[in-house]
Structure 1
Amino acid sequence: MSTFTEPAIYWAGLAPALVILGAAVLGVLVEAFVPRRARLAVQTVLAVAAVMGAFVLLAGQWALVSGQRLAGEMAHGFDLDPFGVAAQGVILVIGLLAVLAMADRTSAGDGAFAAQAADRPGRAEEAESLHAGWMGTEALPLTMFSLGGMMLFPLASNLISLFVMLELVSLPLYIMAAMARHRRLLSQEAALKYFVLGAFSSAFLLLGAALLYGATGSVDYTEVAQVVVLTRGVGASWILPAGLLLLLVGLLFKIAAAPFHAWSPDVYQGSPTPVTGFMAAGVKATAFLALVRVLGVLGVAGGADLVPVLSAIALLTMLVGTVVGIVQRDVKRMLAYSAIAHAGYMLIALTCLNTMSLSALLLYSLAYGASTVGVFGVISLVRVSHVGAAGPEATDLDSYRGLARRAPWLAAAMTVFMLSFAGIPLTAGFVAKYELFLAAALGGGVWLVVAAVVSSAATAFFYTRLIVLMYFREPEDEQVVVVGSRGPVAAAVAVAVTLTLVVGVLPQPLLALLDSAAMLTP
């Protein structure tokens, strides 16, 4: 007679992510049973309440792990430690801002999402849905599913959980990328590109995991690392490095590191603007934080062979993001290449993993993530004017001429975010870059830091160009209209601005917190 061994699961450790995923399931039921006119309000309250509840539970976890009273495996495939709890906190901040940005229904009476995603662009059924004033609200439960995956992704400690969480993060985004209210065909093209290239990246990750399992007989990071150390120099020595490199390719695709970045500008441009912000901030943060655990266990076991590879990729990523970003005339594409350059900076921290670099990477993820969601929130309110009526987002750079006269508070918020991206003092971006570059320099990556400083100085050109257009150029025509937020986007932008400035002016409390969080269990 067969026996069943009950798995040991620490449910309290999984509780924050389970609250988010539970809200996602409830959101699906809301779509099925709540009347259409009430869905947006119900979905928004449910999502915000779930994120805030997850924050409360996470604070309780931090009180335990920071005192080293609780650490280790909370379920098979997921580890609980100070770094994991801090990573979840960063993801929740990004998720809260993203939910607020997606929930807004502007003064123009529209939102970022199609009235019904299934309507064919340009056909009668789409016109009827728009005339009825509908707005697709299924994006919010999809966001919660993806957010739940993002929270568990950095905690994954075996190859199976890593792949499952990668798909949980990605699959909702493939759908959401096709749901733009305006420029529907461009949105659907972006979703198709993201889906096809995302499938390729998943295939690479799976093949890498299969090679590692075939060579070691285990999918657990720690057990794979032990086998690597014990069998070094014995048998087919190419299988383990090949498996690890293929695993990295799948993760590097998610952070849009060169040469795996080709999907990024098109997807950023075509996706609904709040989804672009969530994708740019959340996916990048969770993928980097998951890479920390992969490289911290498997990379260390494999020796220092990955450092030259990561250094070369970081250098190429900075080069592509900087050079191509300078010539962009579309704001969303410019920010896509900006994100590529920032991925290059963050990769530097992975070449010298230590307590200081882990702390810097957490801070960079938070600072960059908040500013990114905020800047795309601003973009969602600047629209093309059709005989005075608001149309799609005005993403051409010239559309921002004289924005400070049309909407002073929006221009001020955009300026704060641009200065933070550029790493100007008194912003969170400056503190994050300083900490990250210092950690890399002390870890022996001085030449990479020099390259990053040069790249950062060059990228400041396209950030300051936008500021100059907003404040020192007259608007050329009346083809642009600024719509008002009915609350959620304004709240998201305000919180992002406050966080960017407070961390920039008073960084020490957050730095002390992240220093104590930069610790992985063996």
Structure 2
Amino acid sequence: MIDRFSWVAIYPEIVLLVMACAIALLDLFDRSRGRKVAYVLSLLTLLVLAVLTGMNASAGQTVYGFGGIVVSDQMANWLKCFAALSVAVTFVYSRTYIGDRGMVRGGEWYVLSLLSLLGIYVMISANNFLLIYLGLECLTLAGYALVALRRDHVSSVEAAMKYFVLGAMASGFLLYGLSMMYGATGTLDIPGVFRAVATGQIKHQVLVFGLVFIVAGLAFKFGAVPFHMWIPDVYQGAPTSVTLIIGSAPKLAAFAMAIRLLVEGLLPLAIDWQQMLGVLAIASLLLGNLASVVQTNLKRMLAYSTIAQIGFVFLGLMAGVAGGTALGAANAYSSAMFYVVTYVMTTLVSFGIILLLSREGFESEEIADLAGLNQRSPLYAGIMAVCLFSLAGIPPLVGFQAKLSVLQALISAGSGLHIAIAVFAVLMSLIGAFAYLRVVKVMYFDDAASDAPIRAPWDMRAVLSVNGALLLVLGVLPGTLMTLCARAVVQMLSS
């Protein structure tokens, strides 16, 4: 552990902020239709950040800065690395889409996306209540603007308003819960909160009251039931490129925020918040899977799928402490981290195919729009099928490994309730599988409405192929990523 080099702990954030400002200024002199300068510089920035944070994670050091309010450990750096790669892939997938819809007139697409990533980075490394909230607001404010980026599109503006109103309410919940914890413990630093709660001298009722609001705020950011109302409307109403931005990397930040607050700060209250997460998980699995079955809009179906997938993440988080001991904490939290990372990877593929099939004046948003995709392009139909099978949890794809690791952690907790919840999760997954298999049936057995060939830029075709292949490779050989997550969580728990 190092607490002397404060700037070392935040230099990825400094690089990201400087480059976002530089790209905004340089874009003033770029008159090209596709904003090539902003695109290239943004991609280079994200790749450099991915390399830097990956090297930091591999070094294995835990660095604290600015009096301990910032932490740079393995978990933070790997999540930052994956977040940067996620946004980079989104830029590659979205380039043609945003150009056709005039969303790069001023280059604000790239700048706002980088600023949302800055908020993600701050949230991931935050070791203080105020810093978590600062990162959250940076992320969400940029997200509101991105959703409303198509100012002449009614559904986008409507989705932005819903997102803004509900997001402000959820931020208020979280801030109120954090203020309650500050009032009870007398500190804003997460390690200080842990020490204060562990003394057992603070009234349990006061702590639980604040904890309820914190969990509510976290549940909204994840999109768990009953705080899921914004997910289907925003996913459907926002431009597909923006849907991909808000549906991928921010999930990594939400996971980091949950770990920092609930595990590093409030682990002595695990029995209380695990019960809350259990209820949220059961409700999310039930509603998410049942609602996805009846959807005809593909983006809306994937939105309800997201709600169901978040239920599995919560199952991992609720299995850490059992029988008054935290012996299974590392296994449980690493399985949740593995699930989040692989889910983001799968989300990139699914919305990448939607972006590929969309063209100027046409949004490929309905399930029927994928009819006969195998006749038009066996490659892209195969990639989408792999993605859908992974979401359904069918072996040997990575989605199966992710679900299996969470269920193993849940069963390892040992109680009859945990085992019953694991069985319930499997049953809900079987129901939800119908929604994914229906899309596969449409792609392979329905007649195509058009015989027009599907054309994609070489970079999008290459990245989409690699992205799809990873779902299979990591399903067959998950050990490397699982070990990475396990080491990151073990270091976090021991520091």
**Please, what TM-score do these two structures have when normalized by structure 1?**
0.87
2:284 corresponds to 1:317: yes
Q: Tell me by how many angstroms 1:289 deviates.
A: 2.3
Deviation at 1:190, TM superposition (A): 0.6
Match of 1:57 in 2: 52
Q: Percent identity of the aligned residues? A: 31
Q: Structure 1 residues 263, 112: closer, same or farther in 2, change over 3 A?
A: farther
The residue number in structure 1 matching 2:173 is 204
Tell me the CA shift for residue 27 of structure 1. Answer: 1.9
CA distance in 2, matches of 1:213, 1:223: 10
Query: What amino acid does structure 1 have at the position aligned with 2:130?
Result: I
**What is the distance in 2 between the residues matched to 1:252 and 1:114?**
34
- Return the alpha-carbon distance in structure 1 between the equivalents of residues 100 and 246 of structure 2: 15
1:512 aligns with 2:483: yes
**How do 1:476-515 residues align onto structure 2 when only pairs under 5 Å count?**
477-478=449-450, 484-515=455-486
Q: Label 1:264 to 1:111 Cα distance change in 2 as closer, same or farther (>3 A).
A: same
Per the alignment, residue 301 of structure 1 pairs with 268
Aligned to 1:123: none
Gaps spanning 5+ residues in structure 1: where?
A: 1-6, 116-133, 385-389
Q: Is the 8 A contact 2:377 2:454 kept in 1?
A: no
Deviations 1:49-107 (A, max 9, x none): 11111122223312321xxxx324233422122222222222223222122223x226x
State the secondary structure of the residue aligned to 1:114: coil
Partner of 1:114: 102
Pairs aligned (count): 479
User: Aligned ranges for residues 388-467 of structure 1 at < 5 Å?
Assistant: 390-444=360-414, 445-467=418-440
Q: Which runs of 5+ in 2 are unaligned?
A: 321-328
Q: Which runs of 4+ in 1 moved over 6 A?
A: none
Q: Is the 8 A contact 1:113 1:179 kept in 2?
A: no
How far residue 499 of structure 1 moved from its aligned partner, in angstroms, is 1.7
Segment drifting more, 34-43 vs 148-157: 34-43
Structure 1 residue aligned with 2:96: 105
After superposition, give the CA deviation of every residue in 1:222-278 in whole Å (9 maximum; x if it has no partner).
21222223253x5x5432211122112112101100000001000000111121112
Match of 2:227 in 1: 260
Relative contact order, CA 8 A, sep 6+: which one is greater?
Answer: 1
Secondary structure of the 1:79 match is strand
Letter in 2 for 1:391: G
In the alignment, structure 1 residue 10 sits paired with structure 2 residue 10: no
Task: Determine the C-alpha separation between the residues in 1 that align with 2:200 and 2:395.
Answer: 49
Whether the aligned pair in 2 keeps the contact of 1:314 and 1:348 (CA below 8 Å) is yes
Matched, 1:21 2:17: yes
Contact 1:21 1:148 in 2 (8 A): yes
Separation of aligned partners in 2, 1:347 and 1:95: 24
Q: CA deviation at 1:502?
A: 1.6
* Structure 2 residue 282 is matched with structure 1 residue 286: no
Cα distance 1:257–1:481, how it changes in 2: closer, same or farther (>3 A)? farther
Answer yes or no: is the 8 Å Cα contact 1:257–1:314 preserved in 2.
Answer: yes
Amino acid at match of 1:190: A
1:373 aligns with 2:344: no
Secondary structure, counterpart of 1:334 in structure 2: helix
Counterpart mapping for 1:153-168 below 5 A? 153-168=123-138
Counterpart for residue 65 of structure 2: 74
**For the residues of structure 1 that align with 2:409 and 2:169, how far apart are their CA atoms?**
34
Structure 1 residues 429 and 303: CA distance shift in structure 2, 3 A: closer
**Equivalent-residue separation in structure 1 for 2:128 and 2:196 (angstroms):** 14
Contact 2:33–2:99 (8 Å) recurs in 1: no
Report the Cα offset of residue 180 of structure 1: 3.8
Which of structures 1 and 2 has the bigger CA Rg? 1
Give the 5 Å matches for 1:156-195: 156-180=126-150, 184-195=153-164
Supply the AA of the counterpart residue of 2:386: V
* One-letter amino acid of the counterpart of residue 73, structure 1: Y
Tell me if the contact between 1:87 and 1:362 (Cα under 8 Å) persists in the aligned partners: no
- Which structure shows the higher helix fraction? 2
